[in-house]
Amino acid sequence: EVQLVESGGGLVQPGGSLRLSCAASGITFSTNSMNWVRQAPGKGLEWLSYITSSSTTIYYADSVKGRFTISRDNAKNSLYLQMNSLRDEDTAVYYCARDWGGEAFDLWGQGTMVTVSS
C-alpha cells in the first residue's frame, strides 16, 4: 500500500526538543523530494521544509529556520524533522508530504500532533 506514516509527536515543554519521523511504503522513496507541512489547531496549512531525494538541497520557512532540521535516510525509507527550542506556537499537526515535480504535494501522511505546553 502506498502510504506515509508520521510518528514521534507528543507533549513537550517550551524550549524542549522532539524528533518526528515519516515512514514511507509502497513508493520509491529514494527518488522523491519530500516536505514537512503543519497545521495549528483551527488554522491553515503552513509549509515548513523541503529536502531533495539526495539531501543536496534543503529549504526552510522563516518561522522554523535555525530551530528545525529536516533529514532523510533513504535506506530506511524515512524522513525526519528534528525540532529544537520549541515554542507554544509550534503546537500543530505535522504532516509529511511527497513533492511532485516541485509544484505540488501529491501524497500526504495522516499527521502527528505536537503540543508545546508547560
Partner 1 sequence: SSELTQDPAVSVALGQTVRITCQGDSLRNYYASWYQQKPGQAPVLVIYGKNNRPSGIPDRFSGSSSGNTASLTITGAQAGDEADYYCNSRDSSGNHFYVFGTGTKVTVL
Residue ranges binding partner 1 (CB under 8 A) = 35, 37, 44-47, 50, 59, 61-62, 95, 100, 102-106, 108-111
**Structure-block grid coordinates of residue 74:** 533513504
Q: What is the 3-state secondary structure (H, E, C) of 35-95?
A: EEEEECCCCCEEEEEEECCCCCCEEECCCCCCCEEEEEEHHHCEEEEEECCCCHHHCEEEE
Q: 107 near 98, Cβ under 8 Å? A: yes
Nearer to partner 1, 15 or 26 (CB): 26
Q: Which is nearer to partner 1, 13 or 28 (CB)?
A: 28
Q: How far is the CB of 70 from partner 1 (least distance, A)?
A: 11
Min dist. Cβ of residue 78 to partner 1 (A): 18
Beta carbon of residue 39, minimum distance to partner 1 (angstroms, whole number): 8
The distance of closest approach from Cβ of residue 48 to partner 1 in the complex, given in angstroms and rounded to an integer, is 9
Task: Mention every residue, 6+ apart, whose C-beta is less than 8 A from residue 85.
Answer: 15, 17, 67
Quick one: 13 or 106, whose CB is closer to partner 1? 106
Nearer to partner 1 by Cβ, of 29 and 36: the residue is 36
